[in-house]
Amino acid sequence: MLRLPTGIWYSPGVKANVLFFDKKEGRAEAWTDKLWVYDLRTNQHFTLKQKPIQRKDFDEFVACYKPGRMHERAETWSEANPEGRWRCYDYDELLKRDKLSLDLFWIKDKSLTDTDALPAPDILAVEIADDLEAALEQFTKIAARLGTQAQT
């Protein structure tokens, strides 16, 4: 599972995850015994215009994921390295979670504890303006589509 940064889909506050599946035939017992999770959300700061997410931001995830070589995967997270973004959860551990929630996080969110880690007010203002412009652009497209539909 890849935890994506909040709001990268033109919707502030929306949290998105990408789940990767292998196509296998059904069976009574679960195929999955581990869930590998990469956190590209916590303490990452992307914006729609000033600092958009780029392909290079996924390089560590791709290196950790090791497509076709799952047996070579190794966690970057540990008690000695609590900032490691790649972590494995056992299936039994997931079953014990409230409502089987996959809202998994382990990295300490610095914005909640360290106000010095927050972006400067001028950066926040630019990001808010960018988000509002992007939202307005989306609403304008929707309104235009609805206007076109209403005329037909």
Are the C-beta atoms of residues 37 and 90 closer than 8 Å to each other?
no
* Strands, E assignment, 24-134: 34-39, 86-90
Domain that holds residue 15: 2-151
Name which of 58, 55, 54 is nearest 38 in CA terms. 58
Q: Report d(CA 85, CA 78) in Å as an integer.
A: 10
| pLDDT tier at 152, thresholds 50, 70, 90 | low
96-118 mean pLDDT: 78
**pLDDT of 122 higher than 90:** no
123-150 mean pLDDT: 78
How many domains does the structure of the chain reveal?
A: 1
Of 72-76, 87-91, 136-140, the poorest mean pLDDT is in 136-140
Per-residue CA distances from 13 to 7, 25, 83, 105 (Å):
5, 36, 23, 16
Locate 56 and state its tokens.
Answer: 């290079």
Q: Report d(CA 136, CA 142) in Å as an integer.
A: 10
**pLDDT of 128 higher than 70:** yes
Q: For residue 24, what is the domain's CATH number?
A: 3.40.50.150
**pLDDT of 116 higher than 70:** no
pLDDT for residue 76? 96
**pLDDT of 149 higher than 80:** no
Q: Report d(CA 7, CA 5) in Å as an integer.
A: 6
pLDDT for residue 35? 93
pLDDT for residue 45? 82
94-106 mean pLDDT: 86
How much of the chain is helix, strand and coil, in % rounded to 5? 40, 10, 50
